[in-house]
Amino acid sequence: MSDFFPILIHMKCASIAIIGRPSSGKSTLVNTICEGKVSITASTPQTTRNAIRGIYTDQRGQLILTDTPGYHISERMMNLKLQETASLALKETDAVLYVVDALRLPGEEEETIIRLIKSAGTPIVAAVNKTDIASKSLVDQTIEYLASRLPGVPVFPISAKADTGVDEVLIALFALAPEGELLYPEEAYTDQPLEFRIAEMIREQAIALVTEEIPHAIFVEVSDIEYSEADQTVWVRAFINVERETQKGILVGRGGEGIKTIRVQSFKNIKKLFPNKKLQIDLRVKVQPKWRQNNHILTRILS
Ligand SMILES: Nc1nc2c(ncn2[C@@H]2O[C@H](COP(=O)(O)OP(=O)(O)OP(=O)(O)O)[C@@H](O)[C@H]2O)c(=O)[nH]1
Ligand SMILES: [Mg+2]
Protein backbone atom coordinates (compact mmCIF):
# COMPACT_ATOMS: atom_id res chain seq x y z
CA MET A 1 0.00 0.00 0.00
CA SER A 2 1.20 3.49 -0.81
CA ASP A 3 2.38 5.72 2.01
CA PHE A 4 0.49 8.55 0.40
CA PHE A 5 -2.85 9.38 1.94
CA PRO A 6 -4.45 12.35 0.28
CA ILE A 7 -5.71 14.80 2.88
CA LEU A 8 -9.03 16.19 1.87
CA ILE A 9 -9.24 19.79 2.95
CA HIS A 10 -12.60 21.34 2.44
CA MET A 11 -11.84 24.94 1.65
CA LYS A 12 -14.60 27.49 1.87
CA CYS A 13 -15.21 30.45 -0.36
CA ALA A 14 -17.93 33.06 0.04
CA SER A 15 -18.83 36.49 -1.18
CA ILE A 16 -19.97 38.81 1.58
CA ALA A 17 -21.73 42.15 1.07
CA ILE A 18 -20.98 44.72 3.77
CA ILE A 19 -23.97 46.96 4.28
CA GLY A 20 -24.77 49.76 6.71
CA ARG A 21 -25.43 53.45 7.17
CA PRO A 22 -22.84 56.04 6.11
CA SER A 23 -19.91 56.28 8.51
CA SER A 24 -20.78 53.09 10.41
CA GLY A 25 -17.24 51.83 9.75
CA LYS A 26 -17.69 49.42 6.81
CA SER A 27 -14.54 50.47 4.98
CA THR A 28 -12.48 50.53 8.19
CA LEU A 29 -13.66 46.97 8.87
CA VAL A 30 -12.70 45.75 5.38
CA ASN A 31 -9.24 47.28 5.79
CA THR A 32 -8.81 45.67 9.21
CA ILE A 33 -9.89 42.24 7.97
CA CYS A 34 -7.79 42.42 4.79
CA GLU A 35 -4.82 44.00 6.57
CA GLY A 36 -4.32 46.57 3.85
CA LYS A 37 -5.69 49.76 2.40
CA VAL A 38 -8.54 48.36 0.34
CA SER A 39 -11.08 51.12 0.78
CA ILE A 40 -10.63 54.75 1.76
CA THR A 41 -12.14 56.04 5.01
CA ALA A 42 -13.10 59.45 6.36
CA SER A 43 -14.85 61.03 9.29
CA THR A 44 -17.36 62.59 6.89
CA PRO A 45 -20.23 60.31 5.80
CA GLN A 46 -20.76 58.95 2.26
CA THR A 47 -17.13 58.36 1.45
CA THR A 48 -17.38 55.05 -0.38
CA ARG A 49 -18.99 55.43 -3.81
CA ASN A 50 -18.39 52.05 -5.46
CA ALA A 51 -18.68 48.36 -4.67
CA ILE A 52 -15.11 47.68 -3.58
CA ARG A 53 -13.81 44.17 -3.15
CA GLY A 54 -11.45 43.18 -0.36
CA ILE A 55 -10.15 39.61 -0.21
CA TYR A 56 -9.34 37.70 2.97
CA THR A 57 -7.72 34.26 2.86
CA ASP A 58 -6.62 31.92 5.63
CA GLN A 59 -6.52 28.16 6.21
CA ARG A 60 -10.32 28.07 6.32
CA GLY A 61 -10.68 29.46 2.81
CA GLN A 62 -11.49 32.80 1.25
CA LEU A 63 -13.96 35.59 1.94
CA ILE A 64 -14.57 38.10 -0.82
CA LEU A 65 -15.86 41.16 0.99
CA THR A 66 -17.72 43.81 -0.96
CA ASP A 67 -17.62 47.20 0.72
CA THR A 68 -20.58 49.33 -0.37
CA PRO A 69 -21.65 52.98 -0.20
CA GLY A 70 -23.35 53.84 3.10
CA TYR A 71 -27.10 53.46 2.69
CA HIS A 72 -28.58 56.94 2.93
CA ILE A 73 -32.16 57.88 2.12
CA SER A 74 -32.22 60.76 -0.35
CA GLU A 75 -33.80 61.35 -3.72
CA ARG A 76 -30.74 63.10 -5.16
CA MET A 77 -29.44 61.57 -8.37
CA MET A 78 -26.06 60.63 -6.94
CA ASN A 79 -27.60 59.10 -3.82
CA LEU A 80 -30.01 57.02 -5.82
CA LYS A 81 -27.06 55.59 -7.73
CA LEU A 82 -25.20 54.86 -4.49
CA GLN A 83 -28.27 53.10 -3.07
CA GLU A 84 -28.48 51.06 -6.25
CA THR A 85 -24.84 49.97 -5.87
CA ALA A 86 -25.49 48.78 -2.32
CA SER A 87 -28.69 46.98 -3.35
CA LEU A 88 -26.97 45.30 -6.30
CA ALA A 89 -24.20 43.98 -4.05
CA LEU A 90 -26.88 42.23 -2.00
CA LYS A 91 -28.04 40.28 -5.02
CA GLU A 92 -24.74 38.57 -5.76
CA THR A 93 -23.71 37.43 -2.33
CA ASP A 94 -23.63 34.40 -0.04
CA ALA A 95 -24.08 36.42 3.14
CA VAL A 96 -24.54 39.97 4.39
CA LEU A 97 -22.35 41.58 7.02
CA TYR A 98 -24.48 44.34 8.46
CA VAL A 99 -22.44 47.03 10.25
CA VAL A 100 -24.25 49.21 12.76
CA ASP A 101 -22.76 52.28 14.44
CA ALA A 102 -23.20 51.96 18.22
CA LEU A 103 -22.86 55.74 18.57
CA ARG A 104 -26.00 56.52 16.57
CA LEU A 105 -29.34 55.33 17.81
CA PRO A 106 -31.23 53.42 15.12
CA GLY A 107 -33.71 55.48 13.14
CA GLU A 108 -35.66 55.37 9.89
CA GLU A 109 -32.54 54.63 7.87
CA GLU A 110 -31.70 51.56 9.97
CA GLU A 111 -35.27 50.30 9.53
CA THR A 112 -34.95 50.68 5.74
CA ILE A 113 -31.67 48.80 5.67
CA ILE A 114 -33.11 45.99 7.77
CA ARG A 115 -36.05 45.65 5.38
CA LEU A 116 -33.64 45.63 2.46
CA ILE A 117 -31.30 42.94 3.83
CA LYS A 118 -34.20 40.79 5.04
CA SER A 119 -35.82 40.90 1.62
CA ALA A 120 -32.57 39.75 -0.02
CA GLY A 121 -33.09 36.43 1.76
CA THR A 122 -29.37 35.73 2.32
CA PRO A 123 -27.93 34.84 5.74
CA ILE A 124 -27.00 37.86 7.86
CA VAL A 125 -24.26 38.49 10.42
CA ALA A 126 -24.47 41.78 12.32
CA ALA A 127 -21.64 43.77 13.88
CA VAL A 128 -22.18 46.60 16.36
CA ASN A 129 -19.17 48.82 15.70
CA LYS A 130 -17.18 51.49 17.57
CA THR A 131 -17.39 49.72 20.93
CA ASP A 132 -14.02 51.30 21.76
CA ILE A 133 -15.74 54.67 22.15
CA ALA A 134 -19.45 53.88 22.63
CA SER A 135 -20.80 53.48 26.17
CA LYS A 136 -21.82 50.00 27.31
CA SER A 137 -25.41 51.16 27.54
CA LEU A 138 -25.44 52.32 23.89
CA VAL A 139 -23.86 49.06 22.75
CA ASP A 140 -26.40 47.01 24.75
CA GLN A 141 -29.31 49.05 23.37
CA THR A 142 -28.13 48.48 19.80
CA ILE A 143 -27.68 44.75 20.39
CA GLU A 144 -31.20 44.58 21.86
CA TYR A 145 -32.62 46.52 18.92
CA LEU A 146 -30.99 44.12 16.44
CA ALA A 147 -32.18 41.07 18.39
CA SER A 148 -35.76 42.35 18.15
CA ARG A 149 -35.60 43.26 14.44
CA LEU A 150 -33.43 40.39 13.25
CA PRO A 151 -34.26 37.40 15.47
CA GLY A 152 -31.80 34.53 15.07
CA VAL A 153 -29.11 36.71 13.48
CA PRO A 154 -25.75 36.53 15.29
CA VAL A 155 -24.72 39.97 16.60
CA PHE A 156 -21.13 40.81 17.53
CA PRO A 157 -19.88 43.90 19.37
CA ILE A 158 -16.70 44.99 17.58
CA SER A 159 -14.25 47.79 17.06
CA ALA A 160 -13.12 47.86 13.44
CA LYS A 161 -10.54 50.47 14.37
CA ALA A 162 -9.07 48.68 17.40
CA ASP A 163 -9.53 45.23 15.81
CA THR A 164 -11.56 43.73 18.64
CA GLY A 165 -14.34 41.21 18.11
CA VAL A 166 -13.41 40.92 14.42
CA ASP A 167 -12.14 37.31 14.72
CA GLU A 168 -15.56 36.26 16.02
CA VAL A 169 -17.21 37.87 13.00
CA LEU A 170 -14.87 35.92 10.70
CA ILE A 171 -15.76 32.66 12.47
CA ALA A 172 -19.47 33.39 11.90
CA LEU A 173 -18.89 34.27 8.23
CA PHE A 174 -16.85 31.13 7.55
CA ALA A 175 -19.57 29.08 9.26
CA LEU A 176 -22.02 30.39 6.63
CA ALA A 177 -19.62 30.02 3.71
CA PRO A 178 -20.17 27.24 1.18
CA GLU A 179 -17.33 24.90 0.26
CA GLY A 180 -15.53 25.97 -2.86
CA GLU A 181 -12.25 26.69 -4.60
CA LEU A 182 -10.43 29.94 -3.87
CA LEU A 183 -11.33 32.51 -6.51
CA TYR A 184 -8.27 34.74 -5.98
CA PRO A 185 -4.61 33.99 -5.23
CA GLU A 186 -3.83 33.65 -1.51
CA GLU A 187 -1.81 36.88 -1.38
CA ALA A 188 -4.48 39.04 -3.08
CA TYR A 189 -6.26 41.56 -0.89
CA THR A 190 -8.16 43.53 -3.50
CA ASP A 191 -8.94 43.37 -7.22
CA GLN A 192 -9.33 47.08 -7.96
CA PRO A 193 -7.64 48.55 -11.03
CA LEU A 194 -4.52 50.58 -10.27
CA GLU A 195 -5.95 53.88 -11.61
CA PHE A 196 -8.97 53.55 -9.35
CA ARG A 197 -6.91 52.81 -6.23
CA ILE A 198 -4.68 55.82 -6.87
CA ALA A 199 -7.66 58.11 -7.54
CA GLU A 200 -9.25 56.95 -4.28
CA MET A 201 -6.07 57.52 -2.27
CA ILE A 202 -5.92 61.07 -3.61
CA ARG A 203 -9.62 61.63 -2.92
CA GLU A 204 -9.11 60.44 0.68
CA GLN A 205 -6.52 63.13 1.30
CA ALA A 206 -8.57 65.81 -0.48
CA ILE A 207 -11.57 64.93 1.71
CA ALA A 208 -9.39 65.07 4.83
CA LEU A 209 -8.48 68.66 4.01
CA VAL A 210 -11.97 70.12 3.72
CA THR A 211 -15.23 70.27 5.64
CA GLU A 212 -18.98 70.85 5.27
CA GLU A 213 -20.32 69.85 1.86
CA ILE A 214 -17.03 69.99 -0.05
CA PRO A 215 -16.07 66.29 0.38
CA HIS A 216 -19.21 65.35 -1.55
CA ALA A 217 -18.33 67.75 -4.37
CA ILE A 218 -14.98 66.07 -5.06
CA PHE A 219 -14.15 63.35 -7.53
CA VAL A 220 -10.72 62.35 -8.73
CA GLU A 221 -9.65 60.91 -12.05
CA VAL A 222 -6.21 59.64 -12.96
CA SER A 223 -5.47 60.73 -16.50
CA ASP A 224 -2.16 59.02 -16.94
CA ILE A 225 0.27 56.55 -15.34
CA GLU A 226 3.56 56.38 -17.16
CA TYR A 227 6.67 54.39 -16.34
CA SER A 228 10.06 55.53 -17.45
CA GLU A 229 12.47 52.59 -17.57
CA ALA A 230 15.46 54.94 -17.95
CA ASP A 231 15.07 56.59 -14.55
CA GLN A 232 12.87 53.90 -12.91
CA THR A 233 10.17 56.46 -12.24
CA VAL A 234 6.40 56.18 -12.27
CA TRP A 235 4.60 59.38 -13.27
CA VAL A 236 1.02 59.77 -12.07
CA ARG A 237 -1.12 62.62 -13.39
CA ALA A 238 -4.49 63.19 -11.80
CA PHE A 239 -7.29 65.74 -11.65
CA ILE A 240 -9.20 66.61 -8.51
CA ASN A 241 -12.60 67.82 -9.71
CA VAL A 242 -14.90 70.10 -7.74
CA GLU A 243 -18.12 71.91 -8.58
CA ARG A 244 -17.21 75.56 -7.93
CA GLU A 245 -14.33 78.00 -8.21
CA THR A 246 -14.57 78.70 -4.47
CA GLN A 247 -14.08 74.99 -3.73
CA LYS A 248 -11.10 74.94 -6.08
CA GLY A 249 -9.62 77.88 -4.18
CA ILE A 250 -10.00 76.04 -0.88
CA LEU A 251 -8.38 72.86 -2.19
CA VAL A 252 -5.48 74.65 -3.85
CA GLY A 253 -4.98 76.74 -0.73
CA ARG A 254 -2.89 79.81 -0.14
CA GLY A 255 0.30 79.58 -2.19
CA GLY A 256 -0.68 76.03 -3.21
CA GLU A 257 -0.38 74.73 0.37
CA GLY A 258 -3.59 72.67 0.12
CA ILE A 259 -2.73 70.80 -3.04
CA LYS A 260 0.78 70.23 -1.71
CA THR A 261 -0.61 68.61 1.44
CA ILE A 262 -2.86 66.34 -0.65
CA ARG A 263 0.11 65.31 -2.80
CA VAL A 264 2.46 64.68 0.12
CA GLN A 265 -0.14 62.72 2.13
CA SER A 266 -1.42 60.60 -0.76
CA PHE A 267 2.17 59.96 -1.91
CA LYS A 268 2.75 57.85 1.24
CA ASN A 269 -0.01 55.41 0.31
CA ILE A 270 0.52 55.44 -3.45
CA LYS A 271 4.25 54.76 -3.03
CA LYS A 272 3.39 51.41 -1.41
CA LEU A 273 1.92 50.36 -4.76
CA PHE A 274 5.32 50.92 -6.41
CA PRO A 275 7.80 49.71 -3.78
CA ASN A 276 10.95 49.61 -5.91
CA LYS A 277 10.35 52.62 -8.08
CA LYS A 278 10.55 56.35 -7.82
CA LEU A 279 7.25 58.17 -7.91
CA GLN A 280 6.19 61.58 -9.20
CA ILE A 281 2.64 62.81 -8.74
CA ASP A 282 1.24 65.70 -10.74
CA LEU A 283 -2.07 66.96 -9.30
CA ARG A 284 -4.41 69.58 -10.77
CA VAL A 285 -7.72 70.90 -9.50
CA LYS A 286 -10.45 71.39 -12.08
CA VAL A 287 -14.01 72.79 -11.90
CA GLN A 288 -16.77 70.62 -13.34
CA PRO A 289 -19.96 72.56 -12.59
CA LYS A 290 -22.86 70.45 -11.25
CA TRP A 291 -21.15 67.14 -12.01
CA ARG A 292 -23.33 65.42 -9.43
CA GLN A 293 -26.29 66.02 -11.70
CA ASN A 294 -24.45 64.88 -14.81
CA ASN A 295 -25.57 61.37 -15.66
CA HIS A 296 -22.62 60.82 -17.97
CA ILE A 297 -20.04 61.61 -15.27
CA LEU A 298 -21.94 59.73 -12.57
CA THR A 299 -22.16 56.63 -14.71
CA ARG A 300 -18.43 56.84 -15.43
CA ILE A 301 -17.26 57.26 -11.85
CA LEU A 302 -19.87 55.24 -9.96
CA SER A 303 -19.88 52.11 -12.09
N1 LIG B 1 -13.50 54.94 17.31
C2 LIG B 1 -13.80 54.26 16.23
N3 LIG B 1 -13.94 54.87 15.05
C4 LIG B 1 -14.23 54.11 13.96
C5 LIG B 1 -14.40 52.72 14.03
N6 LIG B 1 -14.69 52.27 12.81
C7 LIG B 1 -14.69 53.33 11.99
N8 LIG B 1 -14.42 54.45 12.69
C9 LIG B 1 -14.33 55.84 12.19
O10 LIG B 1 -15.60 56.18 11.65
C11 LIG B 1 -15.43 57.02 10.50
C12 LIG B 1 -16.14 56.37 9.31
O13 LIG B 1 -15.47 55.18 8.98
P14 LIG B 1 -15.58 54.53 7.54
O15 LIG B 1 -14.92 53.21 7.61
O16 LIG B 1 -15.15 55.48 6.49
O17 LIG B 1 -17.17 54.33 7.46
P18 LIG B 1 -18.05 53.77 6.26
O19 LIG B 1 -19.15 52.98 6.86
O20 LIG B 1 -17.20 53.07 5.27
O21 LIG B 1 -18.62 55.12 5.66
P22 LIG B 1 -19.24 55.41 4.18
O23 LIG B 1 -18.26 54.94 3.17
O24 LIG B 1 -19.42 56.88 4.18
O25 LIG B 1 -20.53 54.68 4.15
C26 LIG B 1 -13.91 57.16 10.30
O27 LIG B 1 -13.51 58.37 10.91
C28 LIG B 1 -13.34 55.96 11.05
O29 LIG B 1 -12.03 56.17 11.54
C30 LIG B 1 -14.23 52.08 15.31
O31 LIG B 1 -14.35 50.87 15.49
N32 LIG B 1 -13.95 52.91 16.36
MG1 LIG C 1 -16.90 53.47 3.29
Q: What is the pLDDT of residues 120-158, one digit of tens each?
A: 999 999 999 999 999 999 999 999 999 999 999 999 999
Arithmetic mean of pLDDT, 202-219:
96
H helices present in the chain, as ranges = 26-34, 77-91, 108-120, 136-149, 166-176, 194-209, 245-252, 257-271, 295-302
What's residue 257's pLDDT? Answer: 97
Read off the pLDDT of residues 247-275 as tens digits, 9 standing for 90 and up: 999 999 999 999 999 999 999 999 999 99
Give yes or no for residue 1 having a pLDDT over 80. no
Q: Ligand 1 test: best mutation among 19, 23, 159, most atoms within 8 Å of CB?
A: 23
CA distances to 70, 77, 162 from 33, rounded to whole Å, are: 18, 32, 11
Give yes or no for residue 5 having a pLDDT over 90. no
Read off the pLDDT of residues 30-71 as tens digits, 9 standing for 90 and up: 999 999 999 999 999 999 999 999 999 999 999 999 999 999
Q: What is the pLDDT confidence band of residue 8, given thresholds at 50, 70 and 90? A: low
Arithmetic mean of pLDDT, 5-18:
82
**Which residue did the predictor score with more confidence, 191 or 7?**
191
What's residue 7's pLDDT? Answer: 53
What's residue 6's pLDDT? Answer: 52
Are the C-beta atoms of residues 133 and 106 closer than 8 Å to each other? no
Residue 130 alpha carbon to ligand 2 centre in Å: 14
Residue 189 CB neighbour total at 10 angstroms: 19
CA distances to 5, 6, 7, 8, 73 from 2, rounded to whole Å, are: 8, 11, 14, 17, 64
Residue 32 alpha carbon to ligand 1 centre in Å: 11
Give yes or no for residue 2 having a pLDDT over 90. no
Give yes or no for residue 4 having a pLDDT over 80. no
Which protein residues touch ligand 1 with a CB less than 6 Å away?
20, 22-28, 41-43, 45-48, 69-70, 129-130, 132-133, 159-161
Read off the pLDDT of residues 99-108 as tens digits, 9 standing for 90 and up: 999 999 999 9
Residue 43 alpha carbon to ligand 1 centre in Å: 6
Ligand closest to Cα of 69 equals: 1
In whole angstroms, give the CA distance from residue 19 to residue 23: 11
Read off the pLDDT of residues 148-201 as tens digits, 9 standing for 90 and up: 999 999 999 999 999 999 999 999 999 999 999 999 999 999 999 999 999 999
**Average of per-residue pLDDT values in the chain:** 95
Domains of the chain by start residue, with CATH:
12-176 (3.40.50.300), 194-302 (3.30.300.20)
115: Cβ–Cβ under 8 A, 6 or more apart, which residues? none
In whole angstroms, give the CA distance from residue 283 to residue 240: 7
Which atom of ligand 1 is the closest one to the Cα of 31? 15
